[in-house]
Amino acid sequence: MKDYIFEGSGLDAARAQAIVDETLSGTDDGDLFVERSASESLTFDDGRLKTAGFDTSSGFGLRCVVGDTSGFAQSTDLTEVALRRASNAVVMAKQGYDRPVAEPPHRTNSKLYTDTDPTASPVFGDKVDLLQEIDTWCRALDPSVVQVSATVSGSRRHVSILRAGGEHYDDIRPLVRLNISITCEKDGRRENGYAGAGGRRTYESLIDPDNWKALAREALRQARVNLESVPAPAGQTDVVLGPGWPGVLLHEAVGHGLEGDFIRKGTSAFSGKLGERVAAPGVTVVDDGSLADRRGSLTFDDEGTPTERTVLIEDGILRGFMQDRMNARLMGVKPTGNGRRENFAHSPMPRMTNTFMLGGNEEPEAILSELKDGVFATSFGGGQVDITSGKFVFQCTEAYRVRNGKIEEPLKGATIIGDGPTVLTQIKHIGNDLEIDPGIGVCSKAGQDIPVGVGQPTLYLENMTVGGSAV
C-alpha cells in the first residue's frame, strides 16, 4: 500500500523514504504521514435533497521531533519538490542536536475493520432513495411530525506512515454515520428529537430498515418527550445518569485531563496524582482503541503505534495516562496508541479513542429507586470544560424529575455543573449495564476534530449542581 498511495503523484515511495531518512537523521523522532481520502455527505431536509457533497483529498505532513520541539510542514502537493521544501523547513528543529531516532513502534494489532469504501456502495441514487424513504416513513409515524432531517455520511482514508530506517505502516480506515432528526409540534410548541449511529464499518448495517426505523422511533420519542417538558429547577440535588451516551460528560470532564500533554505540562487537574485515589471505590475508567468497528478505534494510531486498552483509573486509583510518542518519551513511559491527528495537515497529539467507565454490580432499577428527589439525565448535548480546574457545564437534552424513585415530568433547560475530580468522588452507585454510545462522538482539541467513542453504566452522583430556569 505504501507504493499505491503515491500512484499518480510526482513522488515515489523510494524517494520519499530517502528524504525521510535524511530529514530525521540525528533527531528524537518524526515521521511522514501520507493520506488519500474520499468522503461524502447527503442530507434530506424539508422533503427534499438539500445538500450532497463529495470530496477527495491527498497530501502529506512531515514532522521532525527534537526534545519537546516539533518541526512540522504539510502540503497537498505530493511531489518530491514539495517534500524537499517541507524537509528544509522542519530540519530547523534539530539544529545542534545529535541524539538518535526513537525506537519505532511495535506491530501487534490485527486489523480492526474492513477495507470497504463507503463512498462507492451503495451508489448515489440508492442513498438518495434511502433518505427519501426515511423522510416519508418518519412523517407517517405521527401527525405531530412537522419536520424531518436525515443525513448519511461516509469516508475512506488511506494512510501510510513512513519512519526513518524503512519502517512504514499502512491502513485503510472506513467511517460511516446516519443521523435522523425529527421536529414535532403541539399547541403551537415545537421540539426536536435526534438519534444517530455509525462506526468503522459498511453502510449495510446502518441502512437496514430495522436499524434506521429504530433510530427514527427514538428521534420521535425524544421529540414527544420534549413537547411535555417543563422548566428544570435549579439547585443542589442528587443525579442519576443513564448508560451509554451520557459518558460524554466523563469524556470531557475527566478524559481530557488524563491526556499526556496536559499531564506533562502540569496543566491538568490530575497532574502529580499518579497512584493516588482520585475517584470513589469501584470506579474504573479505560481508553480502548482496539475495539472492532467502533467509531474511535484504530488498528494503529496516527504515529504507527498499535492501539490498546489503557487503564486510566482502577478502583478509584489513578493508574495511567493516554500518551503519544513525544510526551511518552519525555515522561519516560511507553506510548499507548493515542497519538491522533485530524488529517495530514495536522501534527499528532495525545487524544482519546473509546473512553468509558466499566460497569459495577448494581441493578439500574435499584439505583434509580434510591433517588428520592433529584434528576435522571439520559442524554447530553454541548458542554464546556476547563482542563486545568476540571470545571464543566453540560446541557441535558433529555432529563426527568424523579420523586421517591419514580420518573415523573421531563425537564427542559437542565444543566449539570461541577468539576471532574470532584464528580469522581461523588459516585455512590455503579450499574451493571455498561453501554458504549451508538457511534456519534466527535472530539475537538486545539482546532482538530476526530471521531471518538464514549460510554458508561448507570451512575448515581451525590450532591450535584443542576442549573435550570424554574422559579
Distance CA 37, CA 173 (A): 9
Is the distance from CB of 69 to CB of 347 less than 8 angstroms? no
- Tell me what pLDDT residue 98 has: 56
Distance CA 212, CA 206 (A): 7
Distance CA 228, CA 297 (A): 38
Is the distance from CB of 383 to CB of 353 less than 8 angstroms? no
Q: Report residue 58: phi and psi, to 5°.
A: -150, 155
Angstrom CA distances, 415 to 105, 235, 329, 352, stand at 43, 10, 40, 24
Report mean pLDDT in 10-residue bins for the chain, 471 residues.
81 94 94 97 95 96 94 96 95 71 68 85 93 97 97 97 94 97 97 97 90 97 97 96 95 94 96 97 98 96 97 98 97 97 98 98 98 96 82 94 98 94 96 97 95 98 91 52
- Tell me what pLDDT residue 195 has: 97
Which residue in 52, 205, 37, 196 sits closest to 117, CA to CA? 37
Distance CA 72, CA 90 (A): 6
- Tell me what pLDDT residue 99 has: 61
Every domain of the chain with CATH number 3.30.2290.10 lies at 4-227
C-alpha cell at 139: 412523517
CATH fold of 4-227: PmbA/TldD fold (3.30.2290)
- Tell me what pLDDT residue 371 has: 97
